[in-house]
């Protein structure tokens, strides 16, 4: 994990779902509300799973970007 | 002020756990879901890898259930802790390497830890007496409650009336009379309840959520342990068992050969952990070599890979051999004739 431009980056490349979701979940647990987390994934399943996980747990999806091999999902941590 | 009771529901993504959670929500209990990830869960993996499955919906059913029920869902990574369950199941394995009863005990035990940490009151599961031959039997229900340590805090809403009253029922947190008495392998009561709750769609019920119940997968896992001389694995090992053809021509090494483009792409991610082979003169698969290679083994592996390439009928096929450090060289081989790929090699 690293922080750049006030966004915490979760590298979930090569991981298959639900591992990218678990990595994001772990980062969310230690982050205060308002923190932005950007997950970089190669499993296209993350494009549906991370937003679904965010919705049910009260976090906000800011953006999703999808390339040929990598998918980037940015969310904002909601209130606990 | 009346206390708001809270329950943690084990959510697999199937119909039974969905119904159990909903039944408890109906009684005014606040419910959150738990989904345990052992590494062997079928959910999503192979669909994500194989190109031919790319158009299938990429939906995690546990998350989908949580959305339908309007509840939070927490994934619990139990990959490391699960190894002990799999290596030494007190109650033994099922038809393959599936330690279903020990697995259920373990998950309820983890759920108990979770409810204590998060100040929840009890645990619910979608278990139904007689639904599964190994873990969901009349005799195993009390075993799970006792050995997990959950005891009376474990409630099975779908078959509660066939079991002694649990603490939530005894204490009046929930109404036992509004629970169910399902039993056996029939799915009709679940279907009817789904209709009553307005669930028009749900994941295919009953089974198939764990690779350990799969005969072929279990053979590959047993082979992995045998080849290493010990029951041990890492997450990458068990992921690789889900992908490609696995052929073991000699006890010391095996060849993992991609069957299509999506698998080839997935295996590429392991090129720095394994020696890999790729045909260059003809279209063909990517292969990883796992184990200790003796003189002549690389050529044998290359001939096997060439056999599965478009050059299978050519006199010579060229392959790139890539070492783990990235250095490469070219190898030219004659594809192995089909008769020389022995049946026993294929795991």
- The 10s digit of each residue's pLDDT in B51-60 is 666 666 667 8
Give residue B326's region: left, alpha or beta (phi > 0; psi -120 to 50): left
Q: Name the band, by pLDDT with cuts 50, 70 and 90, for residue B206.
A: very low
What is the spatial distance between Cα B311 and Cα B280, in angstroms, rounded to a whole number?
Answer: 10
Enclosing H/E stretch for B319? strand B317-322
- List chain A pLDDT tens, one digit each, 80 residues: 444 558 999 999 988 889 999 999 999 999 999 999 999 998 888 999 999 999 999 999 999 999 888 999 999 999 97
- Per the CB < 8 Å rule, is A47 touching B58? yes
DSSP track, A14-28: TPPTTHHHHHHHHHH
How many pairs of residues across A and B have Cβ atoms under 8 Å apart? Answer: 70
What is the CATH superfamily name and number for domain B6-197? HUPs (3.40.50.620)
- Structural contact between residues B251 and B43, judged by C-beta atoms closer than 8 angstroms: no
**Which one of B43, B45, B63 has the shortest CB-CB distance to A52?**
B63
Closest among B338, B20, B329 to B199, alpha carbons compared: B20
Name every residue whose Cβ is closer than 8 Å to that of residue B65 and which is 6 or more positions away in sequence: B11, B13, B17, B18, B21, B33, B73, B202, B203
- Per the CB < 8 Å rule, is B60 touching A18? yes
Cis check for the bond before A18: say yes or no (omega within 30 of 0): yes
Question: pLDDT of B129-155, one tens digit each?
Answer: 998 777 788 899 999 999 999 999 999
pLDDT value of residue B205: 46
User: Which among A15, A41, A49, A59 is the top mutation candidate for probing chain B, defined by the most B β-carbons within 10 Å of its own β-carbon?
Assistant: A49
| pLDDT average, residue stretch B30-39 | 96
Chain A neighbors of B70, CB-CB under 8 A: 56
Q: Name the band, by pLDDT with cuts 50, 70 and 90, for residue B2.
A: confident
What is the spatial distance between Cα B40 and Cα B78, in angstroms, rounded to a whole number?
Answer: 11
pTM: 0.91
Tell me the pLDDT of chain B averaged across its residues: 92
**Percent of chain B with pLDDT strictly greater than 70:** 93
What is the spatial distance between Cα B124 and Cα B108, in angstroms, rounded to a whole number?
Answer: 9
| pLDDT average, residue stretch B293-312 | 95
Residue B283, pLDDT > 50, answer yes
Per DSSP, B324 falls in state T
- Per the CB < 8 Å rule, is B58 touching A53? no
Domain extent, residue A67, equals 2-76
Question: pLDDT of B223-243, one tens digit each?
Answer: 999 999 999 999 999 999 999
- Structural contact between residues B128 and B159, judged by C-beta atoms closer than 8 angstroms: yes
- Structural contact between residues B24 and B174, judged by C-beta atoms closer than 8 angstroms: yes
Domain count, chain A: 1
Angle between the N-to-C axes of helices A46-57 and B61-69, in degrees from 0 to 180, rounded to the nearest 10: 30
pLDDT value of residue B44: 55
List residues of A with catalytic annotation: 17
Closest among B203, B61, B179, B84 to B124, alpha carbons compared: B179
- B19: which 2 tokens? 């119904």
pLDDT value of residue B54: 62
User: Out of B38-42, B157-161, B225-229, B324-328, which region has the weakest mean confidence (pLDDT)?
Assistant: B38-42
Tokens 């529901």 sit on residue: B9
User: Which among B13, B34, B53, B60 is the top mutation candidate for probing chain A, defined by the most A β-carbons within 10 Å of its own β-carbon?
Assistant: B60
What's the CATH number where A27 sits? Answer: 3.30.110.40
| pLDDT average, residue stretch B158-185 | 97
Q: What sign results for the dihedral spanned by CA atoms B58, B62, B63, B65?
A: positive
pLDDT value of residue B137: 87
pLDDT value of residue B41: 85
Q: Which of B78-92, B133-147, B192-206 has the highest mean pLDDT?
A: B78-92
Q: Name the band, by pLDDT with cuts 50, 70 and 90, for residue B47.
A: low
- Per the CB < 8 Å rule, is B58 touching A45? yes
- Per the CB < 8 Å rule, is A44 touching B75? no
**Which one of A43, A47, A52 has the shortest CB-CB distance to B67?**
A52
Chain A neighbors of B71, CB-CB under 8 A: 56
H-state helical runs in chain B: 15-25, 45-49, 61-69, 79-87, 100-118, 140-148, 167-170, 188-197, 215-228, 235-240, 261-268, 297-307
Chain A neighbors of B55, CB-CB under 8 A: none
Q: Name the band, by pLDDT with cuts 50, 70 and 90, for residue B310.
A: very high
What residues does each domain of chain B span? 6-197, 243-345
In the stretch 1-30 of chain A, residues with CB closer than 8 A to chain B read 14, 16-19, 21-22, 25
- Per the CB < 8 Å rule, is A49 touching B44? yes
What is the spatial distance between Cα B172 and Cα B13, in angstroms, rounded to a whole number?
Answer: 29
Chain A neighbors of B73, CB-CB under 8 A: 53, 56-57
Q: Does A66 touch chain B (CB under 8 A)?
A: no
Residue B332, pLDDT > 60, answer yes
* ipTM of predicted complex: 0.93
């Amino acid at each position: 994990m690293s922080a750049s431009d006030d966004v915490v980056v979760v590298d979930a490349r090569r991981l298959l779902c639900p591992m990218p979701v678990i990595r994001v979940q772990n980062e969310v647990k230690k982050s205060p509300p308002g923190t932005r987390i950007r997950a970089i994934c190669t499993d296209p399943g993350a494009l549906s799973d991370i937003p679904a996980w965010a919705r049910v747990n009260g976090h906000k999806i800011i953006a999703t970007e999808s390339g040929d091999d990598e998918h980037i999902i940015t969310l904002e941590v909601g209130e606990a | 002020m009346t206390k708001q009771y809270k329950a943690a529901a084990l959510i697999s993504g199937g119909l039974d756990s969905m119904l159990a959670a909903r039944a408890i929500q109906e009684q005014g209990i606040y419910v959150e879901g738990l989904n345990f990830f052992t590494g062997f869960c079928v959910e999503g993996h192979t669909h994500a890898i194989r190109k031919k499955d790319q158009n299938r919906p990429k939906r995690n059913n546990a998350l989908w259930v949580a959305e339908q029920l309007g509840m939070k869902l927490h994934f619990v990574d139990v990959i490391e802790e699960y190894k002990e369950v799999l290596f030494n199941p007190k109650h033994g394995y099922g038809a393959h390497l599936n330690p279903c009863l020990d697995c259920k005990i373990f998950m309820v035990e983890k759920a108990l830890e979770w409810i204590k940490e998060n100040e929840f009151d009890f645990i619910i599961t979608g278990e139904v007496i007689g639904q599964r031959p190994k873990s969901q039997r009349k005799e195993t229900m009390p075993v799970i409650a006792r050995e997990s340590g959950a005891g009376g805090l474990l409630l099975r809403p779908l078959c509660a009336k066939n079991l002694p009253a649990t603490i939530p029922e005894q204490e009046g947190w929930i109404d036992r009379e509004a629970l169910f008495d399902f039993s056996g392998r029939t799915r009709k009561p679940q279907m009817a309840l789904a209709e009553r709750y307005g669930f028009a769609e749900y994941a295919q019920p009953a089974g198939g959520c764990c690779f350990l119940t799969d005969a072929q997968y279990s053979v590959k896992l047993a082979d992995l342990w045998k080849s290493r001389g010990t029951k041990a694995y890492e997450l990458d090992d068990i992921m690789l068992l889900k992908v490609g053809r696995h052929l073991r021509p000699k006890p010391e090494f095996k060849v993992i050969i991609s069957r299509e483009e999506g698998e080839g792409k997935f295996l590429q991610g392991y090129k720095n952990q394994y020696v890999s082979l790729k045909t260059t003169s003809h279209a063909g698969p990517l292969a990883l070599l796992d184990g200790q290679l003796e003189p002549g083994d690389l050529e044998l592996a290359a001939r096997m890979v060439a056999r599965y390439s478009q050059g299978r009928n050519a006199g010579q096929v060229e392959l790139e051999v890539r070492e783990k450090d990235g250095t490469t060289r070219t190898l030219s081989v004659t594809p192995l004739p089909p008769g020389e790929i022995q049946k026993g090699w294929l795991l």
